[in-house]
Structure 1
Amino acid sequence: MKKLKNEAALVKEALRIGAIYLQKRGGAGEFDGTHSAGLKIRFLYHLLVQDKLIQPLAKGEETEPKMKHKLALWISRQLPDNHPLRQDN
């Protein structure tokens, strides 16, 4: 697993866009200020896997760093080519 140069910023953006996705999807809940980053990452990862928007990690490989990496890859593919977070990847 090669870490992306802007991975932390990409994960932050994935959580922001993921919160919007949750609202538009309806029925999945939403993030609020009381949820920890780890909980948000886990929830969004599992939701995207369930909706078949990302490939699941192998069983036993579902660690927070690997979930973060998957979310960073997902959001980097959603961003336009000229977005600043995609420039260094």
Structure 2
Amino acid sequence: MAKTKVKNEPQLVLEALRVGEIYANKRKVGEFSATDSAKDKLRFIYRLLVHDKLIQPLAKGQEDEPNMKHKLALWMSRQLPEDHPLLK
């Protein structure tokens, strides 16, 4: 599976984690603390978005950190308005 290059992927991942945390709080499915690792947040938000059918799950054996980050970056890029600075 060839990954599509995403502009500003690291920044989009950070934004996806921020937005995903708000989403999880609104859904009342979890709250993060300052001591939670970015890796734990990434896994939780990825699984929540898959569970809620907001993103397609990765193929079996592909569920690693780089692929999850890429999925979240793609998801976030679709949520932002076309003229958002992270998409330029």
TM range (shorter): over 0.9
- Which one is further off, 73-82 or 2-11? 2-11
CA distance in structure 1 between the partners assigned to 2:44 and 2:67 by the alignment: 14
Distance between the aligned counterparts of 2:63 and 2:86, measured in 1?
25
Partner of 2:22: 20
Q: What TM-score, normalized to structure 2?
A: 0.94
Alignment of 1:1-89 (within 5 A): 1-26=3-28, 28-87=29-88
% identical aligned pairs: 66
Using the TM superposition, give the Cα deviation of residue 9 of structure 1 relative to its aligned residue in structure 2, in angstroms.
0.2
**TM-score of the superposition, structure 1-length normalised?**
0.93
Question: 2 CA distance for matches of 1:32 and 1:53?
Answer: 24
Alpha carbon RMSD of aligned pairs, Å? 0.8
**Distance across 2 between alignment mates of 1:50 and 1:41:** 14
Kindly state the Cα deviation for residue 3 of structure 1 after the two structures are TM-superposed.
3.1
Aligned residues of 2:7 and 2:87 also touching (Cα < 8 A): no
Task: Report Cα offsets for 1:35-72 as digits up to 9, x if no partner.
Answer: 10111001100000000000000011101000000000
> 2 CA distance for matches of 1:82 and 1:32?
32
SS in 2 for 1:42: helix
Question: Unaligned regions of 5+ residues in structure 1, if any?
Answer: none
Which structure 2 residue ranges, 5 or more long, are not aligned? none
